[in-house]
Every structure is written in structure tokens, then in C-alpha cells.
Amino acid sequence: MNNHIHALDALHGGESTAIQRNRVLRNTYWLLALSMVPTVLGAWLGVATGIVSAVSPGIGMVVFLAGAFGFMFAIEKTKDSALGVPVLLAFTFFMGLMLSRLVGSVLGLANGASLVMTAFAGTGAVFFGMASLSSVIRHDLSAMGKWLFVGAIVLLVAGIANFFMQSSALMMALSVLAIGIFSAFILHDLKRVRDGHETNYISATLGVYLSIYNVFQSLLMLLGLAGGRDE
């Protein structure tokens, strides 16, 4: 009799865990979709007003790094409170604003609008591909995290170095690497939610959003450099 009770408890415990994981995953997808609205608004406002382009690239980079890390710290601090979602959405607006310099320069090309749409479609394909993979892979991917983090740090340092070097070849190489690393990050982060390793949907959304942002930015950079050479 006791064995049957323990078996039933284990079954109910497993069901409630599965329900919780699905809820976190569903909330992550909803918040991710919502976060695209302030991002697009920020990018549109930046392009329309030229507010970011008016600032020198050096100051722009300092503002971006300080703002991004400041917001990420604030999101982690507020992720368990009612402020978590508004802070995250404010962050995505800021990130959209910071993206406007690149978007504006690509839109200045003859086929700029189609390049932006291609980068958008490509990012969507990467996201849906990684989301589908995360649902079929049974293996725990947690060990990937530390290697991907090291790769992201190397990219950040190399990107800052290239800001001073201004090498188009290095920029293209870094963009290709970034697409690979952050695509893997999307898979890793979504799998963590599915496996129950990440239980906070705001943290989960932040991780996946940053990866999507970097994939889009890198694709747009590649297309812009290729488009720029074709002009």
C-alpha cells in the first residue's frame, strides 16, 4: 500500500514539475515576443531622429556597454518582483536604440530595406530552428554553457579591439563566429528551461533575447558589408 502511495506521489510530483517547466517556457516565449516591440520602437526612433548617429562611435560604445551591463544587473535584481518585466522591456528599448546606428547605415545602401528584412528572416529561422532542436534533444546541454560564455567574452574583447583596428575582414570573421556562438546559446538556454535548470522566465527571456539580438546584429553586419562592397 505504501509503495502505491509513494508511486502516486512521485507521479504527481513529476506532473507538477512538467507543468511548471511548460509554464516557464510559455512565459519566456510570450515575453520574448513582447520584448521585440520596444526593440523595434527603439530602432525606429533612433533611425528617425539620428540621436545615436549624432554621438561619436567611441562615446556610443561606452554608453552601450555601460547601459547594457547596468540594465542586466537591474534585471537580475528585479527578476522576482513586479518591476522585472518593465525593467526588461526598458532594456530592450535601449538595445533597439543602440542598434539604430547599424540599421540606419544599412538602410542607406541601395538595397538596404531588403537587407534588413533578410537579416530579420534569417534570425527568425535560426530561432525557430534552435527552439525545435531544444524540444527533440534529450541530452543535457548544461556543459556547453561555460564554453559558450568563454566564446562570448572572446568575441566582446575582439570586437572592442576591432573598434580601433577597423578591419572589415576581422569584422566579417567575428560576425560569422557570433552567429554560430549565439545560435548555440539559444539552444542551450531554451534547453535549460525545458530541463528545469532555469525556473525564472525573466532570466530565461534575457538570455535568449541577447542571443537573438546578437544573431540579428551579426547577420545585418555581414549583409551590410557584402552589400556595401556591391555598391
What does each of the 231 residues of the chain score in pLDDT, given as a tens digit? 555 555 545 445 556 688 888 999 999 999 999 999 999 999 999 999 988 888 888 888 899 999 999 999 999 999 999 999 999 999 999 999 999 999 999 998 888 899 999 999 999 999 999 999 988 988 888 888 889 989 999 998 998 888 888 888 888 999 999 999 999 999 999 999 988 888 999 999 999 999 999 999 999 999 988 875 444
DSSP letter (8 states) at residue 46: H
Q: What are the distances in angstroms from CA 74 to CA 38, 112, 203, 206, 212? A: 18, 35, 11, 12, 20
pLDDT of residue 19: 85
Could you tell me the pTM of the whole model? 0.88
SS (H, E, C) 116-183: HHHHHHHHHHHHHHHHHHHHHCCCCCCCHHHHHHHHHHHHHHHHHHHHHHCCHHHHHHHHHHHHHHHH
